Chains A and B, each alone.
Chain A
Amino acid sequence: NAGVTQTPKFRVLKTGQSMTLLCAQDMNHEYMYWYRQDPGMGLRLIHYSVGEGTTAKGEVPDGYNVSRLKKQNFLLGLESAAPSQTSVYFCASKSRAGVGSGANVLTFGAGSRLTVL
């Protein structure tokens, strides 16, 4: 009953370093999302995917890249981390409209706290 699992939970980077956040879901959901949460800014959509091999830009995509090579995984990459990317990152997933009663409900992971020095 894992749902959405994010790794790592915490990470500290130096400016310019790269890293990848991994999101894994075991609910066979088609759609997956990466949001960032900052004080006073709420949740802002970074990138999302509507299926394996597809990705799309959200509200704040600059400085991030994503990949969805497998249906259950959605990776968020920072090629050259900046202090402005210090945030809590949340992954979420949901099923496609018309597929089950949960089609409109996002399931969130517990979050990944990233600090860029």
Chain B
Amino acid sequence: AQSVTQLDSQVPVFEEAPVELRCNYSSSVSVYLFWYVQYPNQGLQLLLKYLSGSTLVESINGFEAEFNKSQTSFHLRKPSVHISDTAEYFCAVRRANRDDKIIFGKGTRLHILP
């Protein structure tokens, strides 16, 4: 079975500073990886996804994530955060050959400090 580990439950960072949210996965087969974001008092929405091809994927609001198969990681990065990035971020995984079950990590709460 696949699993996801988000190493940090909370990450404080100053506005305009860079940030990295870590995600590691475990699976015996090929996987698809996702980052979802949950803004306060809202449901989750997709931020970006890796299915195949280029290992670096980007979102429309400046986030990027890199799939690293050897390190089984899919860390999320942004070079300069804004107060509006305050949210909880969830890494998720599903098996590439089975599209039903999607498993989420425990989430990382990003605190932007003024």
Contacts and interface: CB of A to CB of B under 8 A. Distances in A.
A77 to B, nearest CB: 21
A42 interface: yes
A74 interface: no
Contacts of B53: none
A90 B106 contact: no
Interface string B19-54: 000000000000010101000001111100101000
Interface in A47-95: 48, 50, 56, 58-59, 90, 92
B13 interface: no
Contact of B99 (A43, A96, A108): A96
A56 to B, nearest CB: 7
Nearest to A95: B99
Nearest to B105: A42
A34 interface: no
Nearest to A41: B106
Contacts of B101: 45, 48, 56, 58
A91 to B, nearest CB: 9
Given A97-B99, A103-B99, A104-B99, A40 B43 contact: no
Contacts of B32: 104
Contact of B90 (A4, A43, A50): A43
B80 interface: no
Contacts of A40: 9, 106
B99 A106 contact: no
24 contacts: A31-B100, A33-B102, A35-B104, A40-B9, A40-B106, A42-B104, A42-B107, A43-B90, A44-B104, A45-B101, A45-B103, A48-B101, A50-B100, A56-B100, A56-B101, A97-B99, A103-B99, A104-B51, A104-B99, A106-B46, A106-B102, A108-B44, A108-B45, A110-B43
